[in-house]
Homo-oligomer: A and B are copies of this chain.
Amino acid sequence: MKRKIEVCLSPALLETYAIENSIVVVIDILRATSSMVYGIDNGATAIIPVAQVEECLNYKDHGFLLAAERNGEVVAGYDFGNSPFSYTKEKVGGKTVVLTTTNGTKALHMARARAAEVVIGSFLNLEALSTWLKSENRDVLLLCAGWKDQVNLEDTLFAGAVVQMVRTAFTEFDDSSVLAEDLYQLAQHDLRAYMQKSSHSHRLAALNIEEDVKFCLQLNICEAIPVLRGDALVALK
């Protein structure tokens, strides 16, 4: 039986893919989807991604936690931003978090409009996600959020990691998935070292999120697979 896996390296390319019957995995490794996975894994009831900082404010006084980040920094007056260290059991357990980020939320909303199913990927849940993807009988699109519609290394590397994990369950691969898998094979022995090559490494260093980067490159510390149900991300099972 034919089954296809593809990698979309930027949200700006999403419309070139037919995803109406596909599972779309949204990937924004630094740091939105890593935080989402960690938050759901730590018992957050739901995480609601919204597009605008202002939209986030509509949820104030509902007892929700508000998280907002623009250009990598916490927006003043919000409970927290995008750092995975904010999404611990103590902080998010049993709570709903309303989240807006630069790139991840945008990719999520674009996928939601067309895909059969939208789930969240990060290195933290690589194995759990891959095992589930293999078990489902659908085509898969790995959607990299990128940085302002440009391709970035970390999202591409994670897409490649998934392709490597699931490839035996698929028969068709687009060129981007070949490229991503080969890049991951090159980088996997030391992801942090490889990430030093990124054009964003100076930007990230300036934002003082090196501990976040280190955290987000850990493999398989979470079992949760966040899935989009209506407006909210919840645990798949």
Contact surface of A with B, Cβ cutoff 8 Å: 9-10, 12-13, 16-17, 147-153, 156, 172-176, 178-179, 182-183, 186, 197-200
CB-contact partner of A150 in B13, B148, B199, under 8 A: B13
Question: Are A182 and B175 neighbours in the complex by a CB distance under 8 Å?
Answer: no
Q: How many copies does the complex hold?
A: 2
| Chain B: minimal CB distance from A148 (Å) | 6
Question: Are B199 and A175 neighbours in the complex by a CB distance under 8 Å?
Answer: yes
Provide the main secondary structure of the chain A interface. mixed
Bound Cα distance from A17 to B149, whole angstroms:
10
CB-contact partner of A179 in B13, B149, B179, under 8 A: B179
| Chain B: minimal CB distance from A27 (Å) | 14
A179-B199 in contact given A9-B9, A13-B10 (Cβ < 8 Å): no
| Chain B: minimal CB distance from A105 (Å) | 18
Question: Are A153 and B179 neighbours in the complex by a CB distance under 8 Å?
Answer: yes
| Chain B: minimal CB distance from A172 (Å) | 7
Question: Are A174 and B186 neighbours in the complex by a CB distance under 8 Å?
Answer: no
Question: Are A175 and B198 neighbours in the complex by a CB distance under 8 Å?
Answer: yes
Bound Cα distance from A165 to B9, whole angstroms:
25
Question: Are A16 and B175 neighbours in the complex by a CB distance under 8 Å?
Answer: no
Sample (8) of A-B pairs whose CB atoms are under 8 Å apart: A9-B151, A12-B13, A150-B174, A151-B175, A151-B176, A178-B197, A179-B183, A186-B186
